[in-house]
């Protein structure tokens, strides 16, 4: 498919979500930022005061983790809930399948609003973080990583919304998978401090690799190219699963 046609179809799929975002942008951004900013204050200043390396060093360590956390919190819940509601009550997927639109455009179009929410939320946290810590740096590759991460978790949200049959199932998935992943992916602690068996589980989590790459980029440490590759693999895998489910009407 030619790129202009793909972008045009993605825009048509995302148009309703973009209109909703335009009308409710302040409320949406506020809801995305409250959690990460609270974590930054609570863990950065509260827990950081008890750290041997000091609050400033811990703030520099935790800010990349909070940004990685925001790529998940700003995308997954909104996308998965919206997808489930549209599937159960509006049959919007069935209507889209009747249109002359490629399945790939449907999948990517549904992820657009999550990417926008995530990118805006992370940018605001980056601005705040740059004021409270002078040890972090911002570079173009950082926004590439954030973009890939927000797309990955937007696609995961679509997948969860497609697989869930009712709201309770989505709630259980969030409680058993998303919440533990939020705190156990090295966002607020060093993975090297945990036992090897637990560390292996942590490295299997999708959020761990955005955390590692964002932290390395912002703190100027050695870049974990393996984590970058794993991020892309997760993103592609979620896209393929969504494509298959929608294409084969498995939702």
pLDDT tens digits for 207-249? 999 999 999 999 988 999 999 999 999 999 999 999 999 998 8
What mean pLDDT, rounded, does the chain reach?
87
* Least reliable range by pLDDT among 32-41, 52-61, 124-133, 200-209: 52-61
Q: What is the pLDDT of residue 127?
A: 86
The helix/strand/coil state of 136 is coil
> Residue 99: pLDDT above 60?
yes
8 pLDDT tier (thresholds 50, 70, 90) = confident
Mean pLDDT across 94-123: 90
Report which of residues 71 and 251 the model is more confident about: 71
pLDDT in tens, 137-179: 888 999 999 999 999 999 999 999 999 988 888 999 999 999 9
Number of domains in the chain: 1
Q: Which residue range forms the structural domain that includes residue 114? A: 3-247
Range with the largest mean pLDDT of 5-9, 112-116, 132-136? 112-116
Q: Are 75 and 117 in contact (CB under 8 A)?
A: yes
> Residue 74: pLDDT above 90?
no
Torsion (CA) 13, 16, 18, 24 in degrees, nearest 10:
-160
Global confidence as pTM = 0.89
pLDDT in tens, 24-57: 888 877 777 777 777 777 776 665 554 545 456 7
Nearest to 145, CA basis, from 201, 76, 218 = 218
Q: What is the pLDDT of residue 108?
A: 95
Q: What is the pLDDT of residue 2?
A: 66
């Amino acid at each position: 498919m030619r790129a202009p046609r793909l972008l045009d179809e993605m825009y048509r799929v995302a148009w309703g979500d973009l209109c909703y975002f335009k009308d409710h942008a302040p409320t949406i951004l506020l809801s995305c930022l409250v959690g990460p900013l609270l974590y930054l204050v609570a863990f950065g200043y509260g827990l950081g005061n008890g750290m041997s390396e000091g609050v400033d060093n811990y703030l520099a360590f935790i800010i990349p983790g909070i940004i990685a956390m925001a790529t998940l919190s700003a995308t997954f819940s909104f996308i998965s809930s919206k997808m489930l509601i549209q599937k159960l009550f509006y049959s919007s997927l069935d209507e889209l399948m009747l249109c002359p639109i490629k399945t790939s455009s449907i999948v990517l179009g549904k992820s657009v609003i999550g990417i926008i929410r995530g990118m805006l939320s992370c940018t605001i946290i980056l601005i705040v973080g740059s004021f409270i810590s002078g040890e972090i740096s911002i570079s173009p590759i950082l926004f590439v990583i954030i973009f890939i991460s927000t797309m990955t978790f937007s696609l995961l949200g679509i997948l969860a919304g497609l697989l869930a049959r009712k709201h309770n199932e989505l709630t259980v998935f969030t409680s058993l998978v998303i919440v533990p992943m939020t705190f156990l992916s090295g966002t607020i602690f060093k993975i090297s401090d945990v036992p090897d068996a637990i560390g292996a589980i942590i490295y299997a989590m999708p959020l761990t690799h955005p955390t590692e790459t964002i932290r390395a980029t912002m703190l100027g440490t050695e870049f974990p190219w393996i984590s970058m590759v794993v991020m892309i693999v997760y993103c592609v895998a979620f896209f393929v699963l969504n494509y298959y489910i929608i294409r084969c009407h498995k939702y």
